[in-house]
Amino acid sequence: MKKRVILIFSTLACFFTITSNLHAQDEILNKLNDIAIINQKVMMPMRDGIRLATDIYRPKTDKKVPIIFSRTPYNFNSWGDGKQRTRTAQQAYEAVKRGYAYVVQNERGRYFSEGEWDILGVPLTDGYDAFTWMKNQSWSNGKIGTYGCSSTAEWQMAVAALDHPSHAAMVPQGFGAGVGRVGDINEQGNWYRGGVEQMLFFSWLYGVEQDKFKPRIPAGATQEDLIRISRFYDLAPENPRVDMAEALKHLPLQDILKNINGKKEIFDKMIRRKPNDPDWFKGGIYHDNMEIGVPSFWFASWYDVSITPNLKLFNHVRNNSKDATIRDNQYLVIAPTLHCAYTRATENTIVGERNVGDARLNYSEQIYAWFDLWLKGEQNDFKAKTPRVQYYTMGINKWQSSDTWPPEKSKMTTFYLNSGGNANSFFGDGKLMAKKPKKDNPDSFTYNPMQPVPSYGGNVCCTGNAVKGGAFDQQQMETRNDILVYTSDVLKEGIEVSGFIESTLYVSSDVKDTDFTIKIIDVSPDGKAYNLDETIQRVRYREGYDKEVFMEKGKVYKVDLTPMSTSNYFKKGHRIRIEISSSNFPRFARNLNTGGNNYDETEGIIAHNKIHHSSRYPSQIKLPIITN
């Protein structure tokens, strides 16, 4: 009887949740109908004859209006009870009530759009062709702004480099998977970090890639037919639920999706690409040899998967655009949130386990002032009121502003690694010190790829249940002997660290190739150790991503790791800590230490790794400290 009552209440709860969602969706659609001319399933033609499914919401006016354009691989069908559809209707309503047409379109091969899908909406000409079609509509004023987060942002940069005359402004948010090579950053759209695969796409592709045998709408279907069909068939597949924490453990890497019956064609070709493979430069990813000529309002977040590449791209465009007007019209917001979670900030914003305070910001007000400036030509006060860089500093939990990133007042300050040769775990003797140690007492640890250091919190996205993102107390992790822990003395005064964090390690090993990881942590007086950012480097790529140089047993090598980024105030009484190891799994793929391909191997070998620190081998971390 008790089980039956529980079942009844569970069923009722589910019913009321669905009913509530449907009511909210009906409500926003009714509000849209009151103010908008709605034209759904418009099949926009591309230059090769492929048609892309497009919904258009525009104000009930005879005046020509500017357009806010969102292109996405996700489902935006307005029928059904999905959150994405309600979100699309809400975004359309917000745009239309402000005098904009809102146009949302599926990438080719997604849902009702024709053609075959590939990541980031290639070919790039689809974006250019869409701009041309929209510009030529009788209701368009010829000005188009692009807007979106994650997959609706990542295609914007490469298309912006095509320099369509109607692309007047863009607002990319959480855009890291669209960043390929920027200076010494070579992540190829979040696939790599330091030459190591980031496993987020392994999970993401399982969830989004539609089967080649999916139902397809016959070529040439009319708009009327498509609207009718969309009421009955959503074309939204739901893959069987998978325990990604277990799935990502499978070896070889190249068979992970095959092992869970996922569609694997795109994954199969990407898993074999090395960091400098020419194919990375043929798709929809932006690289630093491409000129962006669009005023841009960038949004990033401290616990996103690609915070450093995002910030490097902002600096690259601001400092290197050939057009002084474009250089002068790059703005940036950095929030203390997870991927695309800006508007979820509250007066008590919790990121992982850490309360970072009231992180709210008037996002919509700023974004629409930006669009009003560039799409409507309004001479508003956006530039007078809006700082060039708005960034949130954790620890003091407040928004700050700067004209540059890093802030001009930041000064790189070096801390050196030191120990008596026993920095293993937080029970060891590892220290961060202002002076170089003279004698080399290297710290040794064993890295077994079959027993990797598990990811715990961090700057992640899209890994299902495999990794939970954000700041978590690392103390339990730091009891492991395969983690080296280096901690500063107790701070006598608080210090702000805001900017790029550089680290150099001097390493040796008894294997041809291995990885080294680093994590920066804020330690409070009660011992809580909250992670801020993390990075990794595959040693074979220490001299660049265009070549592989393997190690010789026992020889010491200098390894510069990809910069980390944060803005955090270390309060008086706190300590600064870094952790070093050789794995952070499944955030990053394990190095099997063989020197082989890694992706097609099933057995690893144990590595005995060392971190050296002395006047000859000054392993160090450089922190951008704000001085008053």
- Give the pairing of strands 495-509 and 607-612: antiparallel
What's the rounded Cα separation, in Å, for the pair 149 and 430? Answer: 41
Bridge partners, 498 (sequence order):
567
Beta carbons within 8 Å of 609's beta carbon, 6+ residues apart: 444, 445, 446, 447, 507, 508, 509, 514, 516, 582
- Dump strand ranges (E) for 493-626: 495-509, 515-523, 529-538, 557-570, 575-581, 607-612, 620-626
Please check whether residue 533 is in contact with residue 307, taking contact to mean a CB–CB distance below 8 angstroms: yes
Please tell me the predicted confidence (pLDDT) of residue 220: 85
> What is the SS3 assignment for 559?
strand
What's the rounded Cα separation, in Å, for the pair 517 and 474? Answer: 15
SS3 per-residue string spanning 58-71: EECCCCCEEEEEEE
**414 CB burial (10 A radius; 0-12, 13-18, 19+):** middle
Bridge partners, 625 (sequence order):
411, 497
Please tell me the predicted confidence (pLDDT) of residue 4: 53
Beta carbons within 8 Å of 183's beta carbon, 6+ residues apart: 288, 312, 316
Which part of the chain has CATH 3.40.50.1820? 1-152
Ranges of the chain whose pLDDT falls below 70: 1-25, 78-85, 628
Per residue in 552-564, pLDDT tens?
A: 999 999 999 999 9
Per the listing, tokens 């007000």 go with 365
Of 569, 584, 457, which Cα lies nearest the Cα of 518? 584
281 φ, ψ (degrees, to nearest 5): -100, 10
Which part of the chain has CATH 2.60.120.260? 410-626
Per residue in 224-244, pLDDT tens?
A: 999 998 888 888 777 889 999
Please check whether residue 284 is in contact with residue 177, taking contact to mean a CB–CB distance below 8 angstroms: no
Cα Rg of the chain (Å, integer):
25
What's the rounded Cα separation, in Å, for the pair 529 and 233? Answer: 49
Per residue in 288-310, pLDDT tens?
A: 999 999 999 999 999 999 999 99
Please tell me the predicted confidence (pLDDT) of residue 84: 56
Of 98, 46, 35, which Cα lies nearest the Cα of 71? 46
Per residue in 319-331, pLDDT tens?
A: 999 999 999 999 9
Share of the chain above pLDDT 70, in %: 95
Beta carbons within 8 Å of 427's beta carbon, 6+ residues apart: 479
- Written as one letter, the residue type at 158 is A
- Residue 450 is given by DSSP the state T
Please tell me the predicted confidence (pLDDT) of residue 138: 98
Three-point CA angle 107, 113, 114, nearest 5°: 110
Per the listing, tokens 């418009």 go with 42
Please tell me the predicted confidence (pLDDT) of residue 18: 42
pTM of this structure: 0.94
- Written as one letter, the residue type at 184 is D
What is the CATH T-level fold of the domain 410-626, as seen in this structure?
Jelly Rolls (2.60.120)
Please tell me the predicted confidence (pLDDT) of residue 82: 53
Please tell me the predicted confidence (pLDDT) of residue 81: 57
> What is the SS3 assignment for 598?
coil
- The second-level CATH assignment, the architecture, of 1-152 is 3-Layer(aba) Sandwich (3.40)
